[in-house]
Amino acid sequence: MSFMEKPWGGRFSEKTDEFVEEFTESVSFDRELAYEDIRQDIAHIKTLEKAGILTEEEAKKLMEALEDIKRDIEEGKFKWKRELEDVHMNIEAELTRRVGELGGKLHTGRSRNDQVTTDERLYLKGEIEEIVNLLRELRRSLLRTAEGSIDVILPAYTHLQRAQPIRLAHYFLSFREAFLKDTERFLDCYRRVDELPLGSGAVAGVDFPLDRHFTAELLGFNRLVRNSIYATADRDFIAEFLFCCALTGMHLSRLAEDLIVWSSEEFGYIDLPDKLCTGSSIMPQKKNPDILELIRGKTGRLYGNLISLLTILKGLPSAYNRDLQEDKEPLFDSVRTLKGSLVGMVKVIDGLRIREQSMYSGAGNFVLITDVANYLVQKGIPFRKAHHIAGSIVSYLIEKGKRLEELTIDELRNFSELFDEDVFELFKPEVVADRRKTYGGTSREEVLRILSVAKKEEGLL
């Protein structure tokens, strides 16, 4: 068989239609798996040698040729051919061209069905490690920013309405928690990716004495996929990975949304670095938070890639189907999109400037009213009644066009005789924030404790 012939050509009497060549090829995108494919080829060769299917000399010749091909790919010299369909056949065909018929022995005891999912698992193991490292950088960036903003007070928001005073460090630590959970999910996903399918053949296993445990050890897998049908058809590990990407993207998007809003003139809570923003082609005053907007927008791609794969999988009969070729583009796109978004967010967090006074100004007035109600509760009034009294004070302030801090003790006593001079301490946002001393609260004492815990978790103490 010529290396340019189809590997399945013996069954067919007609040349493959050019449209089929174009429509079914995957080498234009799956060549991203080239290094994993060669790594797998070399492990498979060693397994074939161990099984007595290849001699030591044959194995050595094949592996040397594959290393040469790898160098050509690295240097951009390798010629990818669409008519050879995919990354696997391009590499095997080139191997056969270089070493002759011996190259045809490489595929002994292997199908592209178990070959491709092995490549994908090898690829994902490396990418998960990179994403986990990028998440660590983002968590550390958030920690640095939190540590420098312990004494910055701002209003927390619910329903995008000012709610209660918090320390800015508490806010950044909240996202540090989210990205820590994302990291845990990726690491948990890694455990399920870390299973070797190679040696399962097309669907039923292999009729050669291949030591799959030996192959797993060579490729750094901790476990074997235990069922040959499941091994070749399973893409759950990719779906799970895409879900992890989508969820992380959602957290990035929510953080981006806050920072976009905070950087607006209406809020004026932060300034974004000029080098991470762009201007307008028509409005000279504009400073647009493009990086954050794109992080927010690209989350839609992460969602779409997950839905795309789930939709592909939902109607497939068991074992391998060609539909599974469509798993790679969503996978590669999500990897690139998420990694870029994580890098971008680290740059934004490290470069933003906090407008402390603007934040502090927003943390007064009605933001303090919950603690006025709690003040009355501490005086013995049931919370529901205290809530009603505090609400009446808000109505009065709106009617009079006054701020809470401007009330006199006489005005307060019109609502309850239990108000005393000590209530005015609650008109200070930092005092109110520090009353939240419960575990996980926003008091200075608790924020410092959590900062210390987080730094230990990140290996910074």
- 252-297 pLDDT per residue, tens: 999 999 999 999 999 999 999 999 999 888 988 889 999 999 999 9
Q: What is the CA radius of gyration of the chain?
A: 31
Are 439 and 404 in contact, with CB atoms under 8 Å apart? no
88 is catalytic: no
Amino acid at 359: M
Which letter, b or e, does each residue of 215-228 get, where b requires 16 or more Cβ atoms within 10 Å of its Cβ? bbebbebeebbeeb
User: Is the predicted pLDDT of residue 5 greater than 80, yes or no?
Assistant: no
User: Is the predicted pLDDT of residue 2 greater than 50, yes or no?
Assistant: no
pLDDT of residue 22: 77
Spatial separation of the C-alpha atoms in residues 80 and 196, rounded to whole Å: 27
DSSP labels for 90-127? HHHHHHHHHHGGGGGGTTTT--HHHHHHHHHHHHHHHH
Spatial separation of the C-alpha atoms in residues 259 and 445, rounded to whole Å: 26
pLDDT of residue 423: 95
pLDDT of residue 1: 42
Across the chain, mean pLDDT equals 95
Are 200 and 121 in contact, with CB atoms under 8 Å apart? no
- Percentage of the chain modeled with pLDDT above 90: 92
Are 368 and 427 in contact, with CB atoms under 8 Å apart? yes
Measured at the alpha carbon of residue 440, what is the angle toward residues 438 and 444, in degrees to the nearest 5?
75
pLDDT category of residue 169 using cuts at 50, 70 and 90 = very high
pLDDT of residue 9: 59
Q: What is the pTM of this model?
A: 0.93
pLDDT category of residue 24 using cuts at 50, 70 and 90 = confident
Of 28, 264, 280, 392, the catalytic one is 280
Q: What tokens were used for 315? A: 């109607």
213 is catalytic: no
DSSP labels for 411-452? HHHTT-TT--GGGGGGGSHHHHHHT--STT--SHHHHHHHHH
pLDDT of residue 7: 64
Question: Model confidence over 30-81: pLDDT tens digits?
Answer: 999 999 999 999 999 999 999 999 999 999 999 999 999 999 999 999 999 9
Q: Which domains does the chain have, with CATH numbers?
A: 9-108 (1.10.275.10), 113-152+167-358 (1.20.200.10), 368-454 (1.10.40.30)
Residue 16 vs residue 393, higher pLDDT? 393
Of 2, 13, 159, 281, the catalytic one is 159
